[in-house]
């Protein structure tokens, strides 16, 4: 159980275009999903916390108008990178919280999306 999928796994886009990444919890309902960015050989940096039916909470330094997050249902959250630039190239990973661990944050990660902006 507790499977999280992400689509696409890899995407290459041209500078200035927008890219949408989907994160789905397949066998549980996730009231909270998280979006991370990971540069090569670095740790996971939280970008935003997404709660179903409400606006996402962005971490300091993350542009909310550039990284649009929508959490339309208990099993789907999307991250749209708008007007992508080469410096946005990174590994984007989502995670979903099952909320069944006695009130503690057990998160399940998606497989990640490698974005390359040319």
The distance in angstroms from the start CA to the end CA of the chain is: 37
Binding to another protein (CB under 8 A): which residues in 91-110? 91, 93, 95, 97, 99, 103-110
Least distance from another protein to the Cβ atom of residue 101, Å: 8
Secondary structure letter of residue 87 according to DSSP: G
Does residue 32 belong to the site contacting another protein (CB under 8 A)? yes
Q: Binding to another protein by residue 49, rule CB under 8 A?
A: yes
Pairing of strands 90-97, 113-117: antiparallel
68 binds another protein (CB under 8 A): no
**CB of residue 99 to another protein, shortest distance in Å:** 7
Residue number, 79 or 93, with CB nearest to another protein: 93
- Please provide the DSSP assignment of 15-80 as one string: TT--EEEEEEESSS--SEEEEEEE-TTS--EEEEEEETTS--EEPTT--TTTEEEEEEETTEEEEE
Q: Which residues bind another protein (CB under 8 A)?
A: 32, 34, 42-46, 49, 91, 93, 95, 97, 99, 103-112, 114
């Amino acid at each position: 159980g507790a499977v999280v999928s992400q689509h696409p796994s890899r995407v290459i886009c041209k500078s200035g275009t927008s890219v949408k990444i989907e994160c789905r919890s397949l066998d549980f309902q996730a009231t909270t999903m998280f979006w991370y960015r990971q540069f090569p050989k670095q740790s996971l940096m939280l970008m935003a916390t997404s709660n179903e039916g409400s606006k996402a909470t962005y971490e300091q330094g993350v542009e909310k108008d550039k990284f649009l997050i929508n959490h339309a249902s208990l099993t789907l959250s999307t991250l749209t990178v708008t007007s992508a630039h080469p410096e946005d190239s990174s590994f984007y990973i989502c995670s979903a919280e099952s909320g069944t661990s006695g009130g503690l944050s057990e998160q399940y990660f998606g497989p990640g999306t490698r974005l390359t902006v040319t």
